Amino acid sequence: MRFSLAVIAALCVLVSSGRAEAGNDHTPTYVLVHGAFHGGWSWQKVAEKLRAGDAQVYTPTLTGLGERAHLARPDVGLSTHVQDIVSLIQMEDLHDVILVGHSYAGMVITGVAAAIPSRIKKLVYLDAVIPEPGQSFFGMIGFPAPPPEVTMLPSFPPEDFGLTEDDDIAYVGARLRPQPTATFEEPLVFSWSTLSKIPKAYIRCTGEWFSRETFKAFAAKARAWHWDYDEIDSGHDAMVTEVSDTVKAIRRAAR
């Protein structure tokens, strides 16, 4: 009887484990990282649609922005934002993460993948910068360094990100926040060799916005490196203005 009970218990464990593994195989885990001046709020509608498709979705807000704007300090840098996402993934015990970064967050997701490559299933750059080792965000886009006393950089208006609808402008404009200047000035220390085994994708927003020409170079780099590539006909904030198309593009990139 003892042997039978032990066998039954072992079989139950194996079956449960197999079901859990099967569930993990079919339930994607997304971590969506917002761009400069934005917050986790910018992914709200995209996250709802992804969750409706049985995905596990996290939309963290980086330190000093969104609902965490009260935590902004001059010493909050890029490494702080990288640690925000690393800590989320570790504390939630996430694996096989599809890590999506918008705009400035191309810096962040690259740093996260370099720190915990075994946790990342795929990197997806949504109209995002693709850094080189030792580069800062300002260095990549050729933005002139502000005076030392400027420790918080005000956001651009929502129209500059390609928003044209009154409702979108009102929604985004009420939530944009200044960002610590140090996050743009701190170089990212990493090696592409660390990320060599992680598949990567780039999604370009082809519509008009103030820095469209600068960001074309990152899309060209992704194509030259033979990453998976897709496009959305929208301004920079596609996750706000073109929700369905953004969800479809992210799902395609996650394959």
8 A C-beta contact, residue 183 and residue 80: yes
Q: Output DSSP code: residue 156.
A: P
Q: Which of 42, 79, 103, 155 is catalytic?
A: 103
The tokens of 45 are what?
């509608």
155 carries an active-site annotation: no
Apex CA 165: angle with CA 155 and CA 69, to 5°?
30
SS3 57: strand
Quote the distance between the C-alpha of residue 8 and its chain's center. 44
d(CA 178, CA 37): 6
> How many other CB atoms are found less than 10 A from the CB of residue 212?
16
Name, in order, each residue with C-beta under 8 angstroms of 124's C-beta and a sequence gap of 6 or more: 98, 99, 100, 101, 200, 201, 202, 203, 250, 253, 254
Q: Name residue 220's amino acid.
A: A
Catalytic residues: 103
